[in-house]
Chain A
Amino acid sequence: MINTDVVIIGAGPTGLFCAHQLGIIGLKCEIVDNLDKIGGQCIELYPDKPIYDIPAIPECTGEELTNNLIEQIKPFNFNFHLSERVQEIKNIDEKWFLKTTNGKEFLAPNIVIAAGVGSFEPRKFPTNSADKFDGDTVLYSIKDKTIFKDKSVVIFGGGDSALDWAIELSKNSNVTLVHRRDEFRGAQASVDKVKELQEKNKISVLTKCSIKEVKGNGKLESVEIKDEEGNSKDIKADYVLGFFGLIMQLGPILEWGLNIDKKLIPVNTENFETNKKGIFAIGDICSYPGKLKLILSGFHEGALAARGCFKYAKPNEKYRFEFTTSSKTVKGRLGVKE
C-alpha cells in the first residue's frame, strides 16, 4: 500500500498543475490515469491542435502543453500510475483508501478528482451479440498479435489503428477490413498500403458497411455486416476487432457517494471540496456557478484545492502562503540553487 498526502485522479493539464501546486506547498502526491500516457484530453483528443488561450502562451499544441507541465513538476519526482483506473474508495480512520483496476492500493487523507469527462475507454460494437465474446475473440485492442496467425480476422474502423493492424495482420492472417464510408482517416501512406494489399488480394476491403451482428454458438463463427441499403451478409471470422476510438465514461466515480449533477461534481469555490471531506474536484468535472471549462480555470482550481488538501495532510501545521520568487523553502523544493 502506498501512503501519500494526495492521490490525484487524472493526469490531464489540471491534475498536473495541481500536482505542481502540491509540490510547491510541500505535499506529496501520486497521480493515477486510465490512459497509457500523461496528458488527458490534450494528448488523446488534440495533441496536434493549437491552443490559443493559455495565459502567456500565445499558441501551443496539446502535446507541447503537456510536455511543459510534465517538465514543471519534474523537481518533485511524483509517481504516475498509468493504465490504471481507481475502482473503489473507502473511508478508513479519517483517510481515504483507494484501489485501482490492477489492485494497486493507496492511503491518503486527500483525493483530488481531475478526471475531465471521465476515463477513456474504447468504443465498443453497438450490438449486444458482441458482448459475450468481448475480451476473448471480440477485441478493441491487441496485446498479443500471435493469436491471429492463420486465422480469419475482421477489422472494423477507418483510422490509423484499424489500418495499421490490417496491414500488420495481413502478413499471417486472412484479413477483412470493414469501414462505414469510402474514405479512411488514417495516414495517407497506410491508406495507400492497404490499397496495394487489396490489389494483391492480401486484404479484403468492404466500405459503406457496418456491423450488424456477431454470430457463433459458444465460439465465434462469423460476423454479419450490412450496407447502407440494408443488405446484409455473413463473413467468416475467428476474431472481430473494433477500432472506433475512445469514449469518456465517468465509471466508478458515480458509485462513491459524491453529489453528481449532469455528470459533474458540484464543489465550493473556496477550495473545490466536494460533499465528501477530503475529496476535491477540479477541472472539467467540477461545477459551480460561472464555471468555465477552460484549462486556465483548471489551473486556478488546482491551486486552491492544493491548499485545501494541506489542512488534512498536515493538521498540526499552519499553511503559510509563499511566493516562488522569494521563498527559500519553495526554491529548495524546486531544487533551485541560488
Chain B
Amino acid sequence: MAKVTYIEHSGQKHEIEVANGLTVMEGAVQNDIPGIDADCGGGMACATCHVYVKDDWFSKLPEKENGEDDMLDQAYQPNSSSRLSCQIIISEDLNGLVVHLPEKQV
C-alpha cells in the first residue's frame, strides 16, 4: 500500500491509498479522479493517462520501458517529467508519491 497524491491541473489534490501491484493509473480510475482517461485500459497503446512527476520522485521511479517515450510523444503537452501512469506500479517504495495531472488528456 502506498499513499499517492494526485494533483489536478486546477490544483485540486486527491490523496489516495493505492494497493501494491496496481498502477498509478488504476488508482486514479478506481477512485474516480478526474483527469486520467486511460482510453486503452493500460496497454501502453494510447497516451491518455499522462502525468507529470517532479524531479524528486521522477528519479525514484523505475525507468521507462521501451515504447513509453514513443507513446508520450503523442500525449498532450509532454515534457521531460512526463510519464504514463499505467506504467508505474505501486509498491511500498512509492509511498508518498506525488503526480501532477495535465490540463487535459485529449
Interchain CB contact under 8 A, B73 and A180: yes
Interface size class, chain A: 20 to 34
Smallest distance from the beta carbon of B90 to chain A beta carbons, Å?
21
In chain B, residues 48-88, which have Cβ atoms closer than 8 Å to a Cβ of chain A? 48, 69-70, 73-74, 76-80
- Per a CB cutoff under 8 Å, which of A49, A210, A245 touches B74? A245
Interchain CB contact under 8 A, A210 and B77: yes
**Which residue of chain B lies nearest to A46 when distances are taken between CB atoms in the complex?**
B45
Interchain CB contact under 8 A, A185 and B70: yes
Interchain CB contact under 8 A, B69 and A183: yes
Interchain CB contact under 8 A, B106 and A123: yes
Q: Give complex CA distance A49, B70 in Å.
A: 15
Contacts of A158 in B (CB 8 A): 70, 73
The tally of CB-CB contacts under 8 A between chains A and B is 54
Interface of B, secondary structure class, is: loop
Does A159 have its Cβ within 8 Å of any Cβ on chain B?
yes
Known contacts A41-B40, A123-B106: A159-B45 contact under CB 8 Å: no
Does B39 have its Cβ within 8 Å of any Cβ on chain A?
yes
Q: Give complex CA distance A183, B69 in Å.
A: 9
With an 8 Å Cβ cutoff, the count of chain B residues facing the other chain is 19
Q: Give complex CA distance A45, B44 in Å.
A: 9
Contacts of B80 in A (CB 8 A): 181, 228
- Per a CB cutoff under 8 Å, which of A49, A180, A247 touches B48? A247
Q: Give complex CA distance A247, B49 in Å.
A: 12
Smallest distance from the beta carbon of B30 to chain A beta carbons, Å?
12
Interchain CB contact under 8 A, B74 and A244: yes
- Per a CB cutoff under 8 Å, which of A157, A181, A248 touches B69? A181
Max chain A C-beta neighbours (<10 A), residue from B37, B73, B76, B77: B73
Q: Give complex CA distance A158, B73 in Å.
A: 7
Q: Give complex CA distance A247, B80 in Å.
A: 21
Q: Give complex CA distance A180, B70 in Å.
A: 11
In chain B, residues 35-49, which have Cβ atoms closer than 8 Å to a Cβ of chain A? 37, 39-41, 43, 45-48
- Can you report 30 residue pairs joining A to B where beta carbons are below 8 Å apart? A41-B40, A45-B46, A46-B45, A49-B45, A117-B39, A123-B76, A126-B76, A126-B77, A159-B74, A180-B73, A180-B78, A181-B69, A181-B73, A181-B80, A185-B69, A185-B70, A185-B73, A210-B77, A228-B79, A244-B74, A245-B47, A247-B39, A247-B46, A247-B74, A247-B106, A248-B39, A249-B106, A263-B37, A284-B41, A293-B41
